Amino acid sequence: MKILFLADVVGKSGRAALSKYLPLLKQEYQIDFVIVNGENSAHGKGITMRIYNAFKTYGVDCITLGNHAFSKREILDHLDECADLAYPNNHPLTPAHQGIRTYGFDGVKLHVVNVLGKSFMSPEPVVSPFELMDQFLSTISSEDMVFVDFHGETTAEKRAFFECYKQNCIAVVGTHTHVQTADEMVDEGCAFISDAGMVGPYQSVLGREIKQCIIMMKENVSLRYRVSEAEAMVCGVVITTDDTTHRAIAIERIQIRPGESL
């Protein structure tokens, strides 16, 4: 089985790149299941119903989120309609015991879990990602596949989480920093990368308009978030699992910059 994970889709140019490249990537890598982090897809913060539905028409199977999960509050009124929206269970606004999405493949379950890290994150999660994971694992079969999008700031926290749960998961993929790391690995049947990067404006500061960021940092002022309109890069990973053991056997990084082809 091949799972394509595309990292944080940022703003309009990120959404355009997703619609353009997703069909190409699915064909090139013979993908069986697509997970996309959409927590920055609506003007850099949150997701809307319109964008959720658009992602589904592009061919996304499951959409994960993060600290900006509910920045566009309208989505909170439509969670029942979003069967493929995996949102962080430890976010302060998440309805209790919801957010994890489960799919079936040849009699085996695949759970997509989105968790918030604790280090330097705002808002602070209501329970630690470790506590959340311990609770969740106690409710499922050890045969099930668990894919985790760990949305956090620090590489150390993500790596520690992977080391703690690698025997229970097929993948722990980091998101949130928008910078792809080169530490991908598979250990004990679990794939890992500290951060998968972003599908967002290449000429930007993590997706944000460059001039605005310089003013903010140089003059120590706070300005309303403005997403760069530059053409997007496409970052993510392809994870391969063994069809018999249902454990990860490979992880491959994807990074397509403007002007590059697959």
Per-residue tokens: 238: 């392809």
Rg, the chain, Cα only: 17
* Nearer of residues 111 and 176 to Fe ion, judged by Cβ: 176
* Nearer of residues 41 and 241 to Fe ion, judged by Cβ: 41
- The whole-angstrom separation of Cα 177 and Cα 7 is 10
**Alpha helix stretches (DSSP H) within 200-250:** 210-219
Single out the residue of 14, 38, 44, 66 in contact with Fe ion (rule: CB under 5 A).
Answer: 66
* Nearer of residues 68 and 166 to Fe ion, judged by Cβ: 68
Q: How far is the CB of 36 from Fe ion (least distance, A)?
A: 14
Does 117 engage in binding with Fe ion (CB under 5 A)?
Answer: no
Does 90 engage in binding with Fe ion (CB under 5 A)?
Answer: no
Single out the residue of 67, 89, 177, 240 in contact with Fe ion (rule: CB under 5 A).
Answer: 67
* Nearer of residues 67 and 94 to Fe ion, judged by Cβ: 67
- Phi, psi (rounded to 5 degrees) for 89: -65, -25
Question: Packing angle between helix 129-137 and helix 155-165, nearest 10 degrees?
Answer: 20
Catalytic residue, chosen from 68, 91, 111, 176, is 68
Q: How far is the CB of 208 from Fe ion (least distance, A)?
A: 12
A 10 A CB-CB count for 61 gives: 19
* Nearer of residues 47 and 254 to Fe ion, judged by Cβ: 47
Active site residue 246: no
Secondary structure class of 104 (helix, strand, coil): strand
Task: Tell me the three-class secondary structure of 19-85, residue by residue.
Answer: HHHHHHHHHHHCCCEEEEECCCCCCCCCCCHHHHHHHHHHCCCEEECCCCCCCCHHHHHHHHHCCCE
Does 44 engage in binding with Fe ion (CB under 5 A)?
Answer: no
- The whole-angstrom separation of Cα 260 and Cα 256 is 6
- Within residues 162-191, the interface with Fe ion by CB under 5 A covers 176
Q: Could you tell me how many residues of this chain bind Fe ion (CB under 5 A)?
A: 3
Stretch that binds Fe ion, among 63-71, 132-140, 153-161, 191-199 (CB under 5 A): 63-71
Q: How far is the CB of 144 from Fe ion (least distance, A)?
A: 27
Q: How far is the CB of 57 from Fe ion (least distance, A)?
A: 24
Which residue in 176, 183, 189 sits closest to 120, CA to CA? 176
Q: How far is the CB of 259 from Fe ion (least distance, A)?
A: 27
Tell me which residues are annotated as active site.
68
Q: State the residues that interact with Fe ion by CB under 5 A.
A: 66-67, 176
